[in-house]
């Protein structure tokens, strides 16, 4: 945060000095475009900086490239600012994500596992808002990524037996399966870290969950801010009238 603030202050002074010159003797600024390929800096933070300096930017996180459009004077300032930010200390960080799927239900059920000790405080909060009789863990997903990069994974979770299927599944039609698993596809477009390192932002987080007995996948999508190490309930998905699925995320920065 201090580095970005310092860069903004220096560039503001530079722009002010240019504005004090005799602009009547200068030809109108010409819009120029330039591609910057970053070695270390987070593309998302660089895009925000470019926009703060009156430029337009398009980002390709996977290629770590920024396409910048600005007038000639602003481009010179932007280029200098990017050079100051794209240094080894701004290199991408490794981030470990833990995704817990917890189901709340009013029925007596052996679905999944007992809630682990580290989630007891989360379940206590859930019980205050959603007084289901039972809470069970149906999957835990581990995912490692780097800041600015896309990541995805597929996981096979708890086994759902015939007796655990939602009540509204009709008896007619195809026979119910005796036992199948909850399958989750989890993806984030990019993970970012705030300059002070305290918060992880997940851009376009999506969870698509195949739940036996339900024709359409359960889904959740959002952009989420997570305090480093904090367990956060990011969504509630209805499974049946007496069941709901909760997605709990935790993020750790790995040095």
Distance CA(101)–CA(242), nearest Å, equals 17
| Whole-number pLDDT of residue 192 | 86
| φ, ψ of residue 89 in degrees (nearest 5) | -65, -15
Q: How far apart are CA 250 and CA 253, in angstroms?
A: 10
SS3 3: helix
Altogether, the residues listed in the chain come to a count of 255
Residues 105, 244: Cα–Cα separation, whole Å: 7
| pLDDT per residue rounded down to tens, the chain (255 residues) | 555 555 555 555 555 555 555 545 555 568 999 999 999 888 888 998 999 999 999 998 778 899 999 999 999 999 999 999 888 877 878 999 999 999 999 887 778 899 999 999 999 999 999 989 999 999 999 999 988 888 999 999 988 776 666 554 455 555 555 558 899 999 999 898 887 778 999 999 999 999 887 888 999 999 999 999 999 999 999 988 888 999 999 999 987
Residues 6+ apart with CB under 8 A from 70: 31, 32, 50, 53, 54, 55, 56, 78
Query: What HEC string does 11-47 produce?
Result: HHHHHHHHHCCCHHHCCCCCEEEEEEECCCCCHHHHH
Q: What is the DSSP letter of 106?
A: S
Give first-to-last CA distance, the chain, whole Å.
Answer: 19
pLDDT of residue 83: 93
**Domains delineated in the chain:** 2-90 (3.30.1370.120), 94-254 (no CATH)
Do residues 135 and 164 touch, judged by C-beta distance below 8 A? no
Q: Report helix angle 2-19 to 43-52, nearest 10.
A: 30
Q: Which residue is listed with tokens 């999957």?
A: 139
Q: State the Cα–Cα distance between residues 69 and 56, nearest whole angstrom.
A: 5
Provide the 3-class DSSP secondary structure of residue 174: coil
pTM: 0.68
**β strands within 72-228, DSSP E:** 94-105, 113-114, 134-146, 151-161, 179-188, 190-193, 199-210, 218-227
Q: Extract the tokens encoding 97.
A: 């994500």
Q: How many angstroms separate the CA atoms of 155 and 183, rounded? A: 6
Are the CB atoms for 8 and 49 separated by under 8 Å?
A: yes
* 229: alpha, beta or left? (left if phi > 0; alpha if psi -120 to 50): left
| CA dist list (Å): 72 to 30, 33, 75, 90 | 6, 9, 5, 27
């Amino acid at each position: 945060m201090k580095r970005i603030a310092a860069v903004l202050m220096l560039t503001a002074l530079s722009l002010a000095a240019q504005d004090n010159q005799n602009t009547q003797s200068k030809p109108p600024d010409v819009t120029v475009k330039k591609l910057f390929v970053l070695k270390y800096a987070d593309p998302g933070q660089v895009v925000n900086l470019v926009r703060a300096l009156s430029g337009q930017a398009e980002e390709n996180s996977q290629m770590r490239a920024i396409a910048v459009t600005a007038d000639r004077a602003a481009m010179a300032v932007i280029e200098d600012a990017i050079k100051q930010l794209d240094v080894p200390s701004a290199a991408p960080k490794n981030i470990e994500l833990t995704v817990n799927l917890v189901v709340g239900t009013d029925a007596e059920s052996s679905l999944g596992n007992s809630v682990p000790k580290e989630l007891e405080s989360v379940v206590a909060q859930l019980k205050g808002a959603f007084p289901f009789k039972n809470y069970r863990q149906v999957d835990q997903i581990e995912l490692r990524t780097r800041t600015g990069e896309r990541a995805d994974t597929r996981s096979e979770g708890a086994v759902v037996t015939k007796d655990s299927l939602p009540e509204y599944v009709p008896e007619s039609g195809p026979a119910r399966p005796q036992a199948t698993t909850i399958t989750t596809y989890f993806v984030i477009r990019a993970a970012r870290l705030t300059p002070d390192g305290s918060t992880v932002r997940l851009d376009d987080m999506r969870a698509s969950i195949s739940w036996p007995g339900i024709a359409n996948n359960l889904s959740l999508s959002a952009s989420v801010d997570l305090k480093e190490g904090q367990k956060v309930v990011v969504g509630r998905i209805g499974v049946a009238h007496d069941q709901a699925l909760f997605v709990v995320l935790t993020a750790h920065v790995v040095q």
